Structure 1
Amino acid sequence: MLAPGRPQVLYLTAVDQLAGAARLSRETRIVVGVLARDFDLSLAIAGPIDHQGLQKLRDHFASVRAAGGFPASSADQPAVAGLRGLAKARLGTDIVNARLQAAIQRRADAFEAVVVDDLLATPYLPARQNGPVYYLAHRSESKAQSSTWWHWLRQREQRGLSQCEKGALQSVSAVFAKPEVAGELLARGLSFRQLNPSFSQFRPEIVLGEPTTWGGTYQRVGYAGYLGDDRNLASLEWLLREVWTSGQRTLAGIELHLVGTAPPSPLRELAAANNNVYLHSGGRQLLRDLGCRAVIEPLMFEQHVDTKLINAMSQGLPVITSQEGFRRAHAELGEGVLATAGPEQMSMTVHQLMNDESLWQLHASAATRTAALQLADFEVAHDLRRALLRVSEGR
């Protein structure tokens, strides 16, 4: 169900045949999951997708419209020459569906902005737009010579594809991309001014930092977050009251370190009531500097839970959360996150991770792999989210 009053955004993408039942790539699912928290997304999908596939997407992303898979009609036209080889290889057809185009055009005036994240979705851009068009480049199509479909393209088609990609990138308001993709696009003539401004700042900590070892940690569990957010504070207060204070018999000898800025008085008072809870000012990196053995993210009330969990895993440490929070996640988080059913199980999980090196290593390694794979995707998604929020605020 769509929430009234939220900004309307059109999101154009294409089916990923390698994604199986999900029908959308992992990167697209991450971005849609992030944007769906703040915007009413209308997802238009190029390529073969049936009603069941569309319904799965609607069920997974509760606030998202999803359209695609329209039957062929006499109004259908082939894609431009430069896209035909790519479209046949990836979608099984080079035909642009006129019914999907018409469905998009009928609602074009309602959208404050348009996002397109696949070159094969560009034929579905509405003829008129009321706001900016942002291109989210998950890859450089003309660079992806090692992809399974590339050998089907003849040399002339390669040149045509490169020209199509360059034209699409130059025609939009801004381009968003991870650093390695941005570098490829710049090498192919994209203007630096068109790139999302923070792309060069993406430095996933897990890639640069030394791996955390059991011997480099202590019986400490850490939390890092913005303490000026009411939902963050409500979750922390729940953690202190329901888990930490009540579970002292299980948690004896284990320290809880809360990292943030300007904690309000109620939180300071709750922390002071326990002699093993410590408050610090600083950033997320401080958790590793303190020698924390695990990260805790109760997530009882917050939004953007996927991002919080990925950021927590970026320290290369196991992450403990609640099942309530974990159920609201859209991303594939793997074994780096341990979701607990209630306060007692949460305190027991903390105790186990503090004392079982094999268990700790299993989940720490999983957290490292997941963060290394997905952190940059979440960074780009939030950069795009901030740009869309600025559009909405400027209206």
Structure 2
Amino acid sequence: MGLFNSLKKIFTGENTQPAVVVEVLQPRVIETVVTPEPIIVETLTPRPGLAVPIELPVRDAPVTAATDQEATNPSAAAEVTEVTSATNLATGLTKTRKTWSQRWNEFMANFRSVDEDFFEDLEETLIKADVGAETAFKLTEELRQEAKLENAKSRDEVSRLVVEKLVAHYQTQGIGEDASMHFAPAGPTVILFVGVNGVGKTTTIGKLAARYKGEGKKVLLAAADTFRAGATQQLQEWGKRDGVEVIAGAAKADPASVVYDGVRAAIAQQADILFVDTAGRLQNNVNLMQELEKMKRIISRELPNEPSEVLLVLDATTGQNALQQAKLFKNSTDVTGIVLTKLDGTAKGGIVLPIRNELHLPVKWVGLGEQVGDLQPFAADDFAKSLFGDLLEN
């Protein structure tokens, strides 16, 4: 009876003890958790889909290999960038071209006849388009004598004749000027970069170093901008990216001493090109301009007939200010050519014409973007067609 009474109390809920309930339920929980585990394993094991992860690394291997190559060889990455990401001239001049077209269409919308008012409005339109007052006046005077323009009957005919004249100016101005880069027939070629702060001298050097190293040249860089905070580090970063050596001195060191070290290193290593980065200087700062002349004397003493090039770097976004900088730099030092940067970010690409027309300085390179290949040699014909192409098609 004792056993019967105990069972009765359990099933009727009388005098129920929690310990007994736990003992009864515990095995069920364990059994529920443990039992599905072998079922899941047995179900997934035979799936044919498990073969897929084995094949994926094989398909991804070429991508991984290319990435590793770029990481270990920065110049290889730069060469790939130049080939695949170079911005063409038409794309780089989009802002300038759109602004030109807009201003020109507004000007021609008010056209009534070829009279004195027409020429005055034309001159004003050209000045606003950053061709410069001197160039605008010259173009307008030439058009006054254009017989075809006098006989033009329609608005479209007048527009086409004027635009064709503009294109001709872009193509003919600078004829006889040497826009090619000059290199020493033997020994290192030294190329000096000058300009005010913030125009892109260091970036231009980095891009040109990558380009010429890609052509098989032995390139060195000299960090002679010892005053601007971070200037040397910026050039060293480009050196790492391009895989070229950077000759640098201590902070606030004499820039001329860095140039000397750079020239001696170029001679000792039989380098083909030495690019020299200099401090940003205002063209009217006498001390800094004298410092520049000192660097040139040191270069010429160690390497007669060098530097082969003194390139003035100008920021296209500054428009007429860039033209004034070029005039004053030309009067202060022997500038051999212009690098016009940031053309892709401005509507003031018309500045190319007065630089060539008024200063007779060749534009040698134009910057059309951030990639290495976006620094391109200047070609007058291509530039004119890219700038005025839309107007000629209308």
Both proteins in one fold, TM over 0.5: no
Taking CA–CA contacts closer than 8 Å with sequence separation of 6 or more, which of the two structures ends up with the larger relative contact order? 2
Question: Which of these two proteins has the greater Rg computed from alpha carbons?
Answer: 2
Q: TM-score, normalised by structure 1?
A: 0.30
Q: TM-score, normalised by structure 2?
A: 0.31
